[in-house]
């Protein structure tokens, strides 16, 4: 199928896809390579997936690149992951900007080295008016940390308890203004949330594949979109067919 045929084969495209890019380490291990080469391969793959999302007409892509818990990895790996983020900004920013990608960051910038923090802020500023694809990079992100930050700011702002509702809380999260993810993809098979978008993912559809992130290509993304296409999102209500059945008189 050509890319255009693939798109028309789908009846609905998720507006927002979020990805837990997992399995870089196992990908490397299975090839007898150091873990960092797995992270490098994963980064190469990300370039392709960003472009594929643009082609499929996805408007928001959130990627989980470094969790608040990933600080617990060996220093060498943590430093390597910081370097990768810096490298990606240095090498890819102009092209992403030309392609109309708007970069956003979710998570905390405070604990990053000042030079890296400045680069991230520059990337956000440069691309802020782009609207082809919003790419939210979850780096030093944790869902619990996000909620803790929101609670602190809500209290600091003196919001009265009666005024607090879903919308107010959402507006204090790192993702303020970004619609909730419709589809969350996790590569490499783990069946867990790992502190990712725990508020925003309340009604997201999940797709877990055993494929390691560096091997998750455009065809794999299409399979995830096909799976999403088959889902009926009920949001706690009944399916349309069940409602229609109730309206009809009972037989005999």
Residues classed as catalytic:
22, 70
Q: Which tokens is 241 given?
A: 């067919």
Find the residue with minimal CB distance to ligand IPE. 25
Rounded distance, CA 158 to CA 140, Å? 27
Residue 34 CA: distances (Å) to CA of 27, 73, 75, 150: 10, 14, 15, 38
Closest CA to 180 of 208, 145, 216, 143: 143
Pick the piece of the chain touching Mg ion (CB under 5 A) from 21-29, 68-76, 152-160, 241-249: 21-29
Give the nearest distance from C-beta 104 to ligand IPE in angstroms.
16
204 binds, among Mg ion, ligand IPE, none (CB under 5 to 8 A by kind): none
Q: Which residues pair with 186 in a beta bridge?
A: 20, 208
152 binds, among Mg ion, ligand IPE, none (CB under 5 to 8 A by kind): none
Closest CA to 3 of 225, 227, 228, 231: 225
If binding is defined by CB under 5 A, does position 146 make contact with Mg ion? Answer: no
Give the nearest distance from C-beta 22 to Mg ion in angstroms.
4
Query: How many CA atoms lie within 13 Å of 210's alpha carbon, on the beta-carbon side?
Result: 0
Find the residue with minimal CB distance to Mg ion. 22
Give the nearest distance from C-beta 46 to ligand IPE in angstroms.
11
Token look-up 């390579």 returns 33
Closest CA to 143 of 189, 204, 85: 204
Pick the piece of the chain touching Mg ion (CB under 5 A) from 15-23, 28-36, 60-68, 234-242: 15-23
Choice between 64 and 172, CB closer to ligand IPE: 64
Reported as type and span, the H/E element at residue 155 is: helix 143-156
Candidate list 14, 22, 40, 209; residue touching Mg ion; CB under 5 A? 22
CB 199 within 8 A of CB 147: yes
User: Is residue 11 helix, strand or coil?
Assistant: coil
Choice between 56 and 66, CB closer to ligand IPE: 66
- CA–chain centroid gap for 123, Å, is 18
Residues at the contact surface with ligand IPE, assessed by CB under 6 A: 20-26, 64-67, 70, 81, 188, 190, 192, 194
Give the nearest distance from C-beta 1 to ligand IPE in angstroms.
30
Give the nearest distance from C-beta 239 to Mg ion in angstroms.
35
Choice between 194 and 211, CB closer to ligand IPE: 194
Binding site for Mg ion (CB under 5 A): 22
């Amino acid at each position: 199928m050509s890319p255009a045929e693939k798109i028309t084969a789908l009846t609905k495209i998720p507006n927002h896809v979020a990805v837990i890019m997992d399995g870089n380490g196992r990908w490397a291990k299975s090839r007898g390579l150091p873990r960092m080469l797995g992270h490098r391969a994963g980064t190469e793959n990300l370039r392709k997936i960003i472009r594929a999302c643009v082609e499929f007409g996805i408007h928001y892509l959130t990627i989980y690149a470094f969790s608040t818990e990933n600080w617990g990895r060996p220093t060498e790996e943590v430093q390597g992951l910081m370097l990768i983020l810096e490298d990606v900004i240095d090498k890819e920013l102009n092209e992403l900007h030309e392609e109309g990608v708007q970069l956003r960051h979710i998570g905390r910038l405070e604990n990053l080295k000042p030079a890296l923090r400045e680069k991230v802020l520059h990337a956000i500023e440069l691309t802020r008016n782009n609207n082809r694809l919003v790419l939210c990079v979850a780096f030093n992100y944790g869902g619990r940390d996000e909620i803790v930050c929101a609670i602190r700011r809500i209290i600091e702002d003196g919001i009265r308890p009666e005024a607090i509702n879903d919308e107010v809380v959402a507006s204090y999260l790192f993702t303020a203004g970004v619609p909730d993810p419709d589809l969350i993809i996790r590569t490499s098979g783990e069946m867990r949330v790992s502190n990712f978008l725990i508020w925003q993912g309340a009604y997201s559809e999940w797709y877990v594949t055993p494929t390691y992130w560096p091997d998750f290509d455009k065809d794999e993304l299409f399979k995830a979109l096909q799976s999403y296409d088959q889902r009926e999102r009920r949001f706690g209500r009944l399916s349309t067919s069940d409602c229609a059945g109730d309206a009809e008189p009972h037989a005999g």
